Each structure stands twice: as structure tokens, then as C-alpha cells.
Amino acid sequence: MSAVMALTVGAAASGAGADLLRIVRINEQIKRIVGVSCQINIMALNAIFLAKRAGSAALGFGVLSNELRVFSHELRNCMQTLNALIHDCVNEVSVSLRNSRQGRLLGAVAAGGAAAPLLGRVLQRRAAEGEAQARRLSSLRRQLRRALDDAFQMVELGGVLAKSAKIEAAYGQSFAPSLAQVSGEFDGIVEEIRSALEALRRSPFFTGY
């Protein structure tokens, strides 16, 4: 095994290990966002019920609350897409780690054995497979980044809905304080999700392509 090939295998293993850690962190954040989006759905149902009690004074608030409920469902669907992409990324990185370990072992055997020429060809074939695997992972990185961007745009819209609900709450007459409290909670949760997604988009995992 040449010194250059050894360095390449070592670098690939190190990079794959770092990527795996980054993917785990991304997945943890996605799970947290899914949990928060469930809160929005429950809050929206309560807000719709409250708007019905308030009657005609809260018609606009009721419509926005229903839109926020739709938003929570769409956000969860988006998170499911992200989860599927994360799963694919984990598989690719795991394959890369396994191949790197096997490559080091084969290289060590080839370094001092009579079978060095044969093992050298095996290592070359593995190197080609590694390049193909790296291209697949690069594609997944791009897909995951695009999905995160789509989710971020969706949450930006959710923020507009939440802020509009805060405005409509002021017209709720005697129910205005209760409506304002609910709309404020909406706004806070959507902002929490937006901040989480913004942090994910800055993950070092996306600097690999």
C-alpha cells in the first residue's frame, strides 16, 4: 500500500467519522423540531375552539389558526423527508467507514506479503468504489440541504401566519387577551423552529460538496 493511498484511506476514515457525528446532531435537531411542530397542531386546535367561542369578532383569528394547523402538518411531512435523507446519509457514511477499515487492513497485509500485487488490484477497485460512494454522499448532502431550505421557507411563512394572528387577536373584544396569549405562543414556537433550521443550514456537514 503506497504512502499516498494510506494517507487517502486515513483521511477518508477521519472525514466519515466527523460526518457521522454531524449527521447524528442534525437528526437530534430534526426530532426536536418534529416534537415542536406537534405542539403547534395542538395549540391550533385550541385556538380554533377559542375563536369559535369568540364568535364573529375572531373570524380572522380562526382562519389563521386553521392555516397554522395546516402548516404544522406540512412541516411534519417535510421533517419526514429530512429523516429519510438522514437515514440514507447514515448508510453511506457507515459504508465509507467500513470500507476505510477494511482498506487499512488489506493495505497492511499487502505491505509485506507475496500477495501484494493481487491485493493492490483489490485496493484499486475499492478506491474506485470509494469515489462512487463519495459522489452518492455528495448528492445526498445537496438533497438534504435543499430540503432544509424548503423547510426554512415554509417556516418563514408560518412566522407570517403567527404574526398575522397576533394582529387579529387585538380585534377579539373580550377574548382579545386570551387570543393574544395564544398567538404569542404561536409566534415563539415558530421562531424557535426557524432558529433551529437556520442553525442546521450552517452545519459543517454541508461544506463537503
Q: Around Cβ 49, how many Cβ atoms within 10 Å?
A: 12
Domain ranges of the chain: 3-207
Residue 172 pLDDT > 60: yes
Q: How confident is the model at residue 61 (pLDDT cuts 50, 70, 90)?
A: very high
Fold of the CATH domain 3-207: Substrate Binding Domain Of Dnak; Chain:A; Domain 2 (1.20.1270)
Mean pLDDT in residue range 13-29: 81
pLDDT of 207 over the 60 cut:
yes
**pLDDT top residue among 121 and 70:** 70
Here the cell at position 115 is 500477495
Residue 31: is its pLDDT beyond 50? yes
61 neighbors 126 (Cβ within 8 angstroms): no
SS3 1: coil
Neighbours of 102 (CB within 10 A): 14
> 72 exposed, middle or buried (CB, 10 Å; 0-12, 13-18, 19+)?
buried
Q: Is the pLDDT of residue 205 over 90?
A: no
